[in-house]
Every structure is written in structure tokens, then in C-alpha cells.
Amino acid sequence: MSEPIRVVVTGAAGQIAYSLLYMIARGEVFGNKQPLILHLLDIPPMVGVLEGVVMELADCALPLLREVIPTTDPAVGFKDVSAAFLVGAMPRKEGMERKDLLSANVKIFKAQGQAIENFAKKDVKVLVVGNPANTNAFVCANYAPSIPRENFTAMTRLDQNRATSQIATKLGVPISDVKNIIIWGNHSSTQYPDAGQGKVVINGQTKSVADAVNDTSFLQGAFVETVQKRGAAVIAARKMSSAMSAAKAACDHMHDWWNGTAPGTFVSMGVCSDGSYNSPKGVIFSFPVVIVNKKWEIVQGLDLSDFAKSKLTLTGKELQEEKDEALSVLDVGSSNL
């Protein structure tokens, strides 16, 4: 069996982490032969809850889990980690403007970026889950200049999973028979869920999702809106935000980054934009990617409709605005980025 790797989860006393920690410790992300040391990082008021989480992890008697280190100190939390799930963030409160939320989170992710720079392994893989995830990932990467920028990603896999589920339900097929549904842009209501590149197996034959659904108004209307507003719908029904599904998506994201994507299959990840598909350079933008040897690559040459291009422009504009707002909060010039 391999040497243990260290994995940190921030916001470790929270709802998402409660599902996520069990999935990671069971081997669903890094494999069933990879021992783990889990670092659980949270803020001081959550120490009591964190102690309960540590007890529960012990009581699960998980063979791969060699040690659990609960802490409120980022220096301990990020020490020698190979993977980081940045779940903890300031939640949006009633009456809070987006800029206020961004301002609070910029400070959190600046501090976490600095801790990653100083204490994590230089090949650490960072997944930002806490919202606004794309811009939080941008800030975090900026404060860890010795870590490759491609090692900072934002989660749009939850949106991809939601979109894939909607298509599977519409066509009456298992989830496993639908692939290559894309999320473009921001993890926000401007994201563009795109079934245009999707493939589906029906009666043993592979066809395009567009042909199988055969309803452009659905694919450009109700489908897009349902995925964009799914988070709000879960909150309205559950009185809390998505937790189990967010944890599953975080596992899917890191699993594929660690283990690679299957041939002919691509997944959605928020990554540093190189300007592909006319996206704004430098923002963290969700693209379809393929992954080999723990390195992602943006899928190039996809044919986008004018409708799709207009949606990419819209979400790109929002990400550029968020980036500019973050920079104004940090009071640094764009020349530093």
C-alpha cells in the first residue's frame, strides 16, 4: 500500500464537509489503496462541532484513514497537503449585497492562498467550492505565486451533474448513458449549461443529445433555467443549501483530476482562462476539459451556436466584473496579476 497523502478540507465542521469527509476517507476520490491523513480546518467558534466530526470519523472505522488533524491554524491545516478542498466561505446573508459577500470572501481566500504558498506541497491540487467559487479561486491563486496557476480550480461539477441528470430524466435513460454535458463560465445564475456537445446511448446506439431530445426550445429554455436556478430551488425546499450533492460533485471533480478522464469524455472545471472561446483571459472560467496524468487541458474546436456564444459572452462579462471588484477590494493593481 502507498504512503499516506495529506488532504485538507476547510469549513470542515459544515454541512458539505459532513458528507464530503466520509466520501474522501472511504477512498472514493484517491482510490481504495491510497491511505489518507485528513486535515480538518475551521474557525475557532466551530471547534466543538469539529471535535464531534473527529469522533464520528473515528467511529466509522475506515481502513484508509490513518490520522485526523482538526485545527483552526492554517499553518497546520495546509502543512504538506497534496490536495485541498476549500469549502469554507462566508455565506450570503439576507440583505447582503454581492459586493459585500465578495469583499468578505476575498479576505478569506487571500489568507488561504498565502497559507497554501507557505505550507502546502508545490504540486498541491486546489478545488474551491465556497462561493463565489470562480473568483475565490482567482484570489487564492494570486496569493500562491509559486504554485502553478493551473493547480487552482473552481467547482462547476455540481452544475454539470445537475444538467446531466436533467437530460437523463428527460430521455428516460440511466445517468451513465449521458456524457459531455458542459457548463461554461461562472458558477452563478449566468452559467451556460450546454447540451449541444452531449452524447447519449439509446437502445445501444450513441446519438447526440440534441437529436435525441429534438426540442431546441427546451434545450435553450427550461433546461438552462432549471440548472441555473437549481441551487435556489434546493434552498427553497430544504431551507438549507445543497450539501450532499455538492460533496458528491467535489469528489467527482477531484477524482477525475487525480485519476484522469475516460477517452472521449470531458468534464467541466473552472480553470484559468487562456482566452479560449473568446472568454476573458485570466479569470477562472468553466470549460470542458480532458485530464491525463493529473493535468487538465481545455477541449478545443467545439462548434458553438450563436445562442451559445451569446451566453458565454454574458457569463464572461460577469466574471470580469467580479475579478475587477476583487482587485478593488484587495487594493492592488491589475499589473500584479
Q: Is the pTM here over 0.85, yes or no?
A: yes
Architecture of domain 156-321: Alpha-Beta Complex (3.90)
Give the span between the Cα atoms of 212 and 227, in whole angstroms.
19
Which residue ranges are tagged as binding site for substrate? 92, 98, 131, 162
Residues 271-306 pLDDT 10s: 999 999 999 999 999 999 999 999 999 999 999 999
Give the span between the Cα atoms of 291 and 272, in whole angstroms.
15
H or E stretch covering 85 = strand 83-86
* Residues marked as catalytic: 187
Name the CATH superfamily housing domain 5-154.
NAD(P)-binding Rossmann-like Domain (3.40.50.720)
* Residues facing 271 on adjacent strands: 285
Q: Quick one: pLDDT at residue 94?
A: 64
Three-state SS for 273-289 is CCCHHHCCCCCEEEEEE
Which residue ranges are tagged as binding site? 42, 92, 98, 105, 129-131, 162
Burial of 133 (0-12, 13-18, 19+ CB in 10 A): buried
Which residue ranges are tagged as binding site for NAD(+)? 42, 105, 129-131
Determine phi and psi for 288, rounding to 5 degrees.
-75, 135
Query: Which residue ranges does the chain devote to CATH 3.40.50.720?
Result: 5-154
What's the grid cell of residue 152?
487552482
Query: Which residue ranges does the chain devote to CATH 3.90.110.10?
Result: 156-321
Q: With CA atoms as reference, report the closest residue to 17 among 32, 38, 45, 44.
A: 38
Residues in the chain with pLDDT values less than 50? 333-337
